[in-house]
Each structure stands twice: as structure tokens, then as C-alpha cells.
A and B are shown apart, each in its own frame.
Chain A
Amino acid sequence: MKCAEVIEWMHRYLDHDLSHEEITEMYRHIDACPSCADVFDRLTTLSRQLEQLPDVKAPFSLVDSIMPQLDELDRQRLEAGKKDAAGDVVVPFTRSASQDKRRKGSALARRTGIGAAAAAIILGIAIFNMPEQMPGAQVETMLSQDSASSKADNSSAERSMEASNADMADSGAAQNTPASAAGMNEDTADMYSSAVAGGADTSSQNSGDMNSDVASESTAPRISKKESVSSLVTPSASSPGQRKLGDSGQEQPGSAGAATATASPVQSPEKDVYMTLIAPTTEPGALSWTSADGRHMAVVEGEKLAIYNISANKADKALLTTVPLEGKWVSGEWLADNLQFNYVTQKDGIEVKNVFTIPQVDTSSTPLPSGSPAATGSDTPSETPSIK
């Protein structure tokens, strides 16, 4: 056995890495080799000294000294966790998401984009399938029946609320409904047919970003249904508007429609897709529908459906007739001719479609809509910019 090899074994011996046989062999060599014995003595001494190196301690508790930093780390982690959690909850179409003001600004563009695409798809389905509305279902899953125009895109609902508020302020047309109606579009969209206010004023090219503006084809490119468009066109734009509460400050019948029309929001890239319209209802929660020309209102009153005539100045409403309802109320809406009210009730789990038609006599007495376009045209431009 060579000395160099023995010296390596010495190291291994010191590190408890030798077997008994190896130790024996190593000692045998050391006994016979004075120089290796010398090295061995030095190494064992060194190793013993190293093992006896004094313990050292920090002059203070290190853990205590870093406590403030640990607390700070915890705080940061907590915040990061919250952010992550919030990030996971991005569900653009739910009510909670649209009401989440924290994310409103940053995610608005994205959400409106997604919402626009979804709205287009849903509208398409709605048009071809004519789905029945289901009370209480998620807004995004449903649209009002054929009048696609009436459904506020959910994601834009909050926007529409703001917009309508702004409009109210700007126009001074003391509309009592739009603000609350916009909110309701979001919450109970199914409940409101939200007829396009006389605001669907076809002649006003100005409200270009509103899809309800049927006149400009470009506004609703994705909404491939002419049907609903045409239904919007027909309502005489000029009619005094669907304000049922007589307190509106508007004296001129024509301008009312314009004010409501401007309430639709929509600034997204695909700005045309939005269908947000203000349902002209009296109060939130009330089941009532006003015809597009503003002359008739259908109200669910308990077990009955009441049809009212609204006077030209909108100050009064006169009960025209009541219809007993068979079963549970599901939905209702005015048709584009303002004379026919379609509604759906549910009895024993089966939905029944009903139609109520206004006698022609009444309509003839109301002012003709034709006068308004000029008025609306002038009003709308000034209001539209405020929405943007």
C-alpha cells in the first residue's frame, strides 16, 4: 500500500468513511511508516481541533430582528393573493363582474369587446329561435324575443346607465325612467321589452353609434337580422315618447324620442353591436311596457293585464281595458306597429302566447309621428357626444 493512498484513507477515516478492515489495514501501514504516522497525528489533531471550534451565536435574535420584514412579506403576499383571486374571477358576463367597479376601467374595453361578440351571437340565436324569456335566468343567456333591439347588452349595462344618466342631465328632458330602466336592463332584462323609444328615430343619422339607429346600416353590421331592425323603424319616431309619467319637462312631443334614443351607450370598437335601449318603465320592478310610440302602456296588475291609453301630453293615462291573465306572467312586448301587445304566460309549466290588439279607433286620435324627426335630429347630435 502506497503512502499517498494511505493518506487518503486517513482523511476518509477522519470522516468515518472507512470500514473496519480498511481501518485495520491503514493502521498496519502507519505502524510501519514513520512519515505516515506523523501525517496521521497531525491530521487527527487538526480534525479534533476543527471539531472543537467554538460555537458562535449572533449577538441578538435573528428571527426577532427580521420580524418586521416577515410581516411586510406577509402583507405583500396577501395583497398579491387578492389580486390573483380577483384575476380568477373575471367573468365578463355576470352581474357581479359588471358591477365590479374596481375593474371597470381597465377591463371595460376587453369586456365590451367580448360582450359585443357574444351579443351578436346571442342575437342571432334569438332571432332564429325566438326563445322564450325565463324570469330570473342570467341575463347573458337570454334576450328578449324578436325585438333584438330591446335587449341591453349586459356588459354594457353599466355604461348605459351612466350614459342615460348623462343624457338626462344634458337633455334636461326630465325622463324619470331611463336611469332606472338601464339598471333594470341588466338585472331583469327579461322583464322589459324596453321598446325602442320613439328614439329609434330612423331619420336621425347622427346617433351613428347606436344600433337602434336603424337608418344607418353600418351601425348594426353584425346583427344580421333585418327583422328586428325593421321593427324598430316602424315606430313613429316622432311620437311624444314613452314617458308615462307626466312630469317630463318636454313640451314638444318630438324631442322626447331623441332623448331616450341617446341613452344607448356603446363606445366599443364594435360600437354598432350594442342594443342597449332604455326601457321606458315607470318604476323599477313594475311590470309595464309602453309602446314605441308612447301612446299605450301595458301593465301587469296582479292577475290582470291592464292596457292604458296615454294622452298626448303624457300627463294622463286612461285605462283602456284589462285582460285576465291565465297562469304566471312570463314576458310581454309591444310589436312594432304599436297596436299589438304580445305576451307570454305560463300555466302548468306550459308557456302560452297571447296577443292583445289595440282597437284602431284609439290610435287615430293621437298625433302623428311624422313631425318629430327634425326635432330629434337636432337634439341627438348634441347629446351623443356626451356619451362618448
Chain B
Amino acid sequence: MVEQGLIRAAQAGDRDALITLLREIEGHVYKTAFYILHNEQDALDASQEALIRVYTKIGSYEEKAQFKTWVQRIVTNICIDKFRRTKPTISMDEHEMVFQDKQDVEREVMSGYLAQDIREAIDQLPEHHRTVIVLRYLQDLSYNEIADCLDLPLNTVKSYLFRARQQLQNRLQEYQKGGVSG
């Protein structure tokens, strides 16, 4: 949790405070970028861009919003822009092929899925579903905070999150069953 005094000092023009602030948030920024973009180089680019934006826009931050959601809003916007520019949206049909090589892997449902599987499954989600999952699980944000970040109605956030989880579960279940032909 970023200290409020540090934010105020940074807003008042204290450059050292602002740099300290950036160091405190850079890990969070990078994590979000990495899980949304699923690519180290893209994540680095997006994180740097986000930090620079925080640096230049710190004056426009208002305390009525949480600082962490303000930061996440910046980084998710950059990621979504980047994502749209670089990756064509993957349709539900296309992704099926990806999992076919996992057919032989046996898994117990209750023993959980491999983290790698989950990450790949996340990567297959539509951008907004993926983003809400990242904010919910990687940044531990509440519905309201996610809604603030993404400028979405609360119900939409819930709906995205439920569907995202459902899709993830379906994918992973397909894994576990050895893949389902599409």
C-alpha cells in the first residue's frame, strides 16, 4: 500500500518522492502487464510507458480514487491498446488446437492444474475477461476497484469475471480430459 504522504509530496513537485513512488509501484505495474500481454518484451514496454505516464500525470491524480486503481487503470489501458495493436483477437474456435498436445497428460481435478496451463488458458481469454482476471487475482482488487480501473459498470465486471472463470474452468477441464476436439 502506497503511503498517502508520499503521493502528496510527489504531487507537490517532490521529484524524489515521485521516483520513490514509481519504485513502489513498478512491480505491480509489470505483473499486470505481463499477465495481460503474456510476453516479457511487451510487458516491459507497456510497464515503462505506464510508469512514464504516472510520472507525467501525477498532478491529475485525485485522492477520491485509490492510487492503486489509478495506476492499474493506466497500465491496463496501455496493455489493452497494445494488445489490440499487436494481436488479433483469438476466437473461441482457434484455441482448441493449442491444447491437443496435452491430450495424454493425466490430471486429477482436485490436485489442481499446472500453473503453466492456467497461464496459457488465461492467454486465450478475450482481453476484457483476461484483464478482470488479472486485476482480481494478481492485483487482488474488488469488483468496485476493477470497475473503477476499467470504467465498466459493476455488473459488467461481475459478469466478465464469472464468464472468465467459467471459460478457464472449461479449458482446464478439457485439458484434464485430454482435450476435446472442437
Contacts and interface: CB of A to CB of B under 8 A. Distances in A.
Do the two chains bind?
Answer: yes
Interface of A: 8, 11-12, 14-15, 17, 39, 41-43, 45-59, 61-63, 65-66, 69-70, 73-74
B35 A53 contact: yes
A6 to B, nearest CB: 13
B168 interface: yes
A51 B52 CA distance: 29
B118 interface: yes
A11 B161 contact: yes
Contact of A46 (B47, B55, B119, B169): B169
B115 A54 contact: yes
A17 B143 contact: yes
Interface string B1-31: 0000000000000010001001100110111
Interface stretch (B64-72, B77-85, B92-100, B133-141): B133-141
Interface in B84-142: 109-110, 112-113, 115, 118-119, 133, 136-138, 142
Given A11-B162, A41-B110, A63-B51, A56 B35 contact: yes
19 contacts: A8-B162, A15-B158, A41-B109, A43-B169, A45-B109, A46-B113, A46-B165, A46-B169, A46-B172, A49-B112, A54-B115, A55-B27, A58-B30, A62-B29, A62-B47, A62-B48, A63-B23, A63-B51, A69-B52
Listed residue (A14, A47, A56) with the most chain B CB atoms within 10 angstroms of its CB? A56
Given A49-B118, A73-B56, A56 B133 contact: no
A46 B168 CA distance: 8
Contacts, number: 96
Query: Which interface class (under 10, 10 to 19, 20 to 34, 35 or more) fits B?
Result: 35 or more
B143 A56 contact: no
A56 to B, nearest CB: 5
Contacts of A17: 143
Contact of A42 (B34, B43, B169): B169
Contact of A61 (B26, B31, B34, B169): B26
A8 B155 CA distance: 12
Given A56-B35, A62-B26, A50 B48 contact: no
A55 B31 contact: yes
Nearest to B137: A50
A61 B43 CA distance: 13
A74 B19 CA distance: 13
Nearest to A54: B115
A17 B119 CA distance: 25
Nearest to B162: A11
A37 to B, nearest CB: 12
B137 A51 contact: yes
A53 B143 CA distance: 20
A55 B19 CA distance: 23
Contacts of A59: 40, 44
B52 A70 contact: yes
A12 B162 CA distance: 8
Contact of B161 (A15, A61, A69, A73): A15
Contact of A70 (B31, B35, B55, B137): B55
B35 to A, nearest CB: 7
A38 to B, nearest CB: 8
Contacts of B43: 58
Contacts of B48: 62, 65-66, 69
Contacts of B30: 56-58, 62
A65 B52 CA distance: 11
Contacts of B51: 62-63, 66
B165 A11 contact: yes
A57 B137 contact: no
Contacts of A46: 113, 118, 165, 168-169, 172
Contact of A74 (B15, B47, B113): B15
B35 A48 contact: no
Closest 5 pairs between A and B when the two form their complex, measured CB to CB: A50-B137, A11-B162, A62-B26, A58-B30, A63-B22
A69 B109 CA distance: 49
A378 to B, nearest CB: 65
Contact of A53 (B22, B56, B137, B158): B137
A98 B136 CA distance: 62
